Amino acid sequence: MGEKKQYDLVVVGSGPGGYVAAVRAVQLGFKVACVEKAARLGGVCLNVGCIPSKALLDSSEHFIQAKENFSNHGIRFDNLSFDLAVMMARKEKVVADLTDQVEKLLDRHKIDVFHGTARLESPREVAVTVDDGSPKILSAKNILLATGSETVSVPGISIDGDRIVDSTGALSFDAVPEHLVVVGGGYVGLELGSVWRRLGSAVTVVEMLPKIAATMDGRIIRSLERMLRKQGLDFRLETRVSGVTVTNGTVKVAVEGKDGASTLECDRVLVAVGRRPLTRGLNLEAAGVGTDSRTGHVRVNSRYQTDAETVYAIGDLVPGPALAHKASAEGIAAVENMAGKPGEVNYDAIPAVIYTWPEAAAVGITEETAKERRIPYCVGTYPFSGTGRARCMGETDGFVKLICHSKTDRILGVHILGPRAADMIAEGVLAMEFGAGSEDIARTVHGHPTFSEALMEAAQSARKCSIYTS
Check the annotation: does 304 bind a ligand. Answer: no
Give the helix ranges, DSSP H, for 211-281. Answer: 218-230
Across-strand partners of 203?
A: 180
Q: Which helix (H) or strand (E) holds 122?
A: strand 112-122
Q: What is the dihedral of CA 437, 213, 64, 53, to 10 degrees?
A: 90
Q: Closest by alpha carbon to 309, among 334, 292, 326?
A: 334
Check the annotation: does 316 bind a ligand. Answer: yes
- 11-36 burial, b at 16+ Cβ within 10 Å, e below that, comes to bbbbbbbbbbbbbbbbebebbbbbbb
Residue of 73, 109, 415, 448 marked active site: 448
E strands within 123-259? 125-130, 135-145, 149-151, 164-165, 179-183, 202-206, 234-236, 240-247, 250-257
Does residue 401 contact residue 220 with C-beta atoms inside 8 Å? yes
Distance CA 403, CA 414 (A): 6
Distance CA 124, CA 8 (A): 10
The three-class DSSP label of residue 270 is: strand
Tell me whether residue 405 is one of the annotated catalytic residues. Answer: no
Distance CA 347, CA 325 (A): 11
Q: Phi/psi class of residue 450: alpha, beta or left (left: φ > 0; alpha: ψ in -120 to 50)?
A: beta
Distance CA 235, CA 157 (A): 19
On the question of a cis peptide bond just before residue 358, with omega within 30 degrees of 0, the verdict is yes
Q: Which contacts (CB < 8 Å, 24+ apart) does range 124-128 have? A: 124/310, 126/10, 126/12, 126/35, 127/1, 128/35
Residue type at 12?
V
Check the annotation: does 187 bind a ligand. Answer: yes
Check the annotation: does 181 bind a ligand. Answer: no
Check the annotation: does 54 bind a ligand. Answer: yes
Check the annotation: does 149 bind a ligand. Answer: yes
Check the annotation: does 185 bind a ligand. Answer: yes
Per DSSP, the residues of 370-419 read HHHTT--EEEEEEEGGGSHHHHHHT----EEEEEEETTT-BEEEEEEEET
3-state helix, strand, coil in the chain (%, to 5): 35, 30, 40
Orientation angle between helical segments 421-433 and 453-462, nearest 10 degrees? 50
Can you say which residues are annotated as belonging to the binding site for NAD(+)? 184-191, 207, 274
Active-site residues, by number, are: 448
Can you say which residues are annotated as belonging to the binding site for FAD? 54, 147-149, 316
